[in-house]
Structure 1
Amino acid sequence: MLVKFTKMHGLGNDFMVVDMISQHAHFRPDQVRKLADRNFGIGFDQLLLVEPPGRPDVDFRYRIFNADGSEVEQCGNGARCFAKFVRDNRLTNKKNVRVETKNGIIELVVNKDGTVTVDMGVPRLEPSQVPINFPERQLLYPLQVGEKTYELAAVSMGNPHGVLQVEDINRAPVHKLGRALESHELFPEKANIGFLQVVHRRFAKLRVFERGAGETLACGTGACAAMVAGYLQDLLDEKVEIKLPGGNLKISWAGEGHSVMMTGPATRVFEGQVRI
């Protein structure tokens, strides 16, 4: 069958977005992998599905599949694209949109300048909530790779993140070390690995090795997790700008018990049809 889709990106983190309200389809993991291929398919980091709500207090259901076909809990850059997509396609005229994800409800706000602010929810910091296999909560967790031990912060933004502070992200071994830490035995569900360089208290640089996708140009949940990790270590203020390879995000967090707020752009690239 032919399925209509829209190609979008948030700071270069790119998506295939499919309206599953006006059309019906089922994507098997092998089909997702083929579509995600940048040489023989459409090419994307994640597939985003816009589905009818499963409960009365939300507007839509938001599902995310990585390029390897696995379904994941959350994607911040995708959430901004989701908000723009449902507005552009007149699926809603609301500026404040509530969506149901695999991990809970998030709120999206379309701003006058076209950017989208996402209430990413309260970060989870207990080891069992991340999850990371450790008996008690710590500011930094020691993870051994080969003969070397790395100290990472562990944060869940609806999906698991490990954040490693580095002196220079341009020289950080993102691909080699990111792959080793992503699948480390202490992360039972694997984890996204962020390499954080703090420039000053209100500005930082970040590269993220995403589980199931590898390094991407931007990772919204990764930027939120990095900001939380930096704030808890007294390295960052409550409001920061984080520079990713694809562009900048504004992140704010008032501390434990509060939601993380993320603001950034969402861009439509093209529309098409594909046979699945």
Structure 2
Amino acid sequence: MQKLQFAKMQGAGNDFIVLDGIRQPLTLTPAQIRWLADRHFGIGADQILLVEHPSRADADFKYRIFNADGGEVEHCGNGARCFVKFVHAVGLTHKRQINVEVQKGLIRLTLQENGEVCVEMGAPLFDPACVPFDTAQIDSHTEGNDTLWPLELGGKRVWVSVLSMGNPHAVQQVDEIEMAPVSHDGALIEAHSRFAQRVNAGFMQIVRRDMIKLRVYERGAGETLACGTGACAAAVTAIRRGLVDSPVTVSMRGGQVTILWEGAEIYMVGSAMTVFNGEIDMLDAPASSNLPV
């Protein structure tokens, strides 16, 4: 493989390189992924999305997600919206509703008449073992129907809700989102020893009962302009604490999504768009990479 065709896409400012692995079968190394995602030496993206043939009969496609650090992850809501727009744009399907295989199951994506995409995100999991999160020798407290856990961060304590959206999340409430120490505390939370597979760190501010503001320090990517699974995790957390009602608008630096949750499946509705299409010569890709991770 020399020339790699790609689409650069974004959902609420969360940006992606989307690759058709059906018409051009691909095997990318972590070094190649880091190079493609690097904003100075490659194309630049928060994550790389790969469309493949499904391995199960009830799915239309398989969807793989790689963070900018080269690691494969379980789920990405903003990427899912870009995914359905992409497979339509390149003619891989004409169906408005598709079933997509992800690492931990099946999700359903619907391209709506107004161009927005509804993603059935699955049900949140609150058992710490499903995250996984180590609760040994710490005590939680409740707020509404939610459980908060203490994290020690370099001499201070923060309280977080811990849940899985197919990937791990730790969500804390802050008074003023723009003053929140997202870069500093987010890095500490992401790598905290109680999270065996690291974690996405969410910082949410309650605006009113139908809106929250959110910033997310994503596992393997740093702070991004938006995070779809993070928006779901924050909305669910706020609903369980009795702070907001469903549906709730989650406003992030790159845009907003609407989250609907009535105690079972979560639905996320939002936009996605192609920024540009291109081609890159993979002969320029390094066999190994010392690019920043």
TM range (shorter): over 0.9
Q: Deviations for 1:34-79, whole angstroms, at most 9, x for unmatched residues?
A: 1111111100000000001111100000000000000000000000
- 1:65 and 1:209 mapped to 2: Cα distance? 16
Counterpart AA for 1:271 = N
| Preserved contact between residue 230 and residue 236 of structure 1 (Cα < 8 Å) | yes
SS of the residue corresponding to residue 194 of structure 1 reads strand
Partner of 1:11: 12
SS of the residue corresponding to residue 140 of structure 1 reads strand
| Preserved contact between residue 140 and residue 150 of structure 2 (Cα < 8 Å) | no
Counterpart AA for 1:173 = P
CA drift of 1:83 comes to: 0.5
Partner of 1:272: 278
CA drift of 1:25 comes to: 2.1
1:148 matches 2:156: yes
- 2:148 and 2:77 mapped to 1: Cα distance? 24
- 1:165 and 1:198 mapped to 2: Cα distance? 8
Partner of 2:77: 76
Q: Deviations for 1:200-228, whole angstroms, at most 9, x for unmatched residues?
A: 11111000000100000000000000011
CA drift of 1:137 comes to: 7.8
* Aligned pairs (5 A) from 1:199-238: 199-238=207-246
1:260 matches 2:261: no
CA drift of 1:103 comes to: 1.4
Partner of 1:41: 42
- 2:214 and 2:85 mapped to 1: Cα distance? 25
| Preserved contact between residue 126 and residue 137 of structure 1 (Cα < 8 Å) | no
Q: Deviations for 1:81-116, whole angstroms, at most 9, x for unmatched residues?
A: 000001111111111110000111000000111000
Partner of 1:248: 256
- 1:6 and 1:238 mapped to 2: Cα distance? 34
Counterpart AA for 1:210 = E
- 2:26 and 2:248 mapped to 1: Cα distance? 40
Partner of 1:91: 92
SS of the residue corresponding to residue 171 of structure 2 reads strand
Partner of 1:65: 66
Calculate the TM-score normalised by the size of structure 1.
0.97
* Structure 2 unmatched ranges of 5 or more: 142-146, 283-293
1:180 matches 2:175: no
Counterpart AA for 2:176 = D
- Computed over aligned residues only, the root mean square deviation of the Cα atoms, in angstroms, reads 1.1
* Structure 1 unmatched ranges of 5 or more: none
SS of the residue corresponding to residue 128 of structure 1 reads helix
Counterpart AA for 1:259 = E
| Preserved contact between residue 127 and residue 137 of structure 1 (Cα < 8 Å) | no
Counterpart AA for 1:156 = S
| Preserved contact between residue 125 and residue 137 of structure 1 (Cα < 8 Å) | no
SS of the residue corresponding to residue 179 of structure 2 reads coil
- 1:272 and 1:134 mapped to 2: Cα distance? 47
The runs of at least 4 consecutive aligned structure 1 residues that moved more than 2 Å come to: 135-138
Counterpart AA for 1:111 = Q
- 2:241 and 2:91 mapped to 1: Cα distance? 43
Partner of 1:112: 113
